[in-house]
Amino acid sequence: MKKEMQPINNNHPDLQAILENELVKLVPLQDLDFERLYAVASDPLIWEQHPNKDRYKRAVFESFFKGAMESGGAYLILDKDSEEVVGSSRYYDFDAEKKHVFIGYTFVGRKFWGQGYNPSVKKLMIDYAFQFVDQVLFHIGSQNIRSQKAIANLNAVKIGEEEIAYYGEASKLNFVYQISKADWTGI
């Protein structure tokens, strides 16, 4: 089944509240953040396992950024101490009836790999989401082994597979992972 990711609707909690912990600060993504974020995203190695391997190209990243801005749930990830841009992530496909939200479109600059930034961001977003949902879901590219391992380290469980059409991009096979509020240990 082909599915298009949906922006956040108006009947939801604040999915762009400023979030922070000892390592990162997540602030709502703004138009003026494009150049700083693209400076991080322009590294081809960030995208080598991603379903959309050419996001490092400016024109492709412009479409990604436009989708982020329209989503209503996108964040700029900053190092809490230096205020340096680490990457980006977002909430999307919030469903009040099913009490779930997706977290994704996350990328972290290579300078920050292996230092706890990705799990720190995910934990912060998951903890916040569980204030208003019972399930947090993730789409992970079927070839993206690095992200599959990272999400497994958060005790997410694979629950399905879907063809996903990212904003302005071709449809690709993604695995769907889930973390239930009842099972979340906070890692």
Q: In the chain, where are the structural domains located?
A: 2-183
Collapsing DSSP to helix, strand or coil, 138 comes out as strand
What average pLDDT does the segment 66-71 reach? 93
- State the distance between the two ends of the chain, measured CA to CA, in whole angstroms: 33
User: Considering the chain, what is the average pLDDT of its residues?
Assistant: 90
User: What percent of the chain clears pLDDT 70, i.e. is strictly above it?
Assistant: 93
CA distance 171 to 4: 8
Structure-token pair, residue 24: 């990162």
Q: Pick the residue with more confidence: 169 or 82?
A: 82
Q: What is the pLDDT of residue 3?
A: 40
pLDDT at 11 exceeding the cut of 80: no
Q: What is the pLDDT of residue 178?
A: 97
Q: What is the pLDDT of residue 6?
A: 43
What average pLDDT does the segment 42-64 reach? 93
Q: What is the pLDDT of residue 12?
A: 61
What average pLDDT does the segment 1-24 reach? 68
Q: What is the pLDDT of residue 50?
A: 83
Q: What is the pLDDT of residue 167?
A: 75
What average pLDDT does the segment 149-166 reach? 91
Determine the CATH number of domain 2-183. 3.40.630.30
Segment 107-130, tens digit of pLDDT: 999 999 999 999 999 999 999 999
The pTM (predicted TM-score) of the whole model is 0.90
Question: Per-residue confidence at 10, pLDDT binned at 50, 70, 90?
Answer: very low
With CA atoms as reference, report the closest residue to 8 among 140, 151, 132, 113. Answer: 132
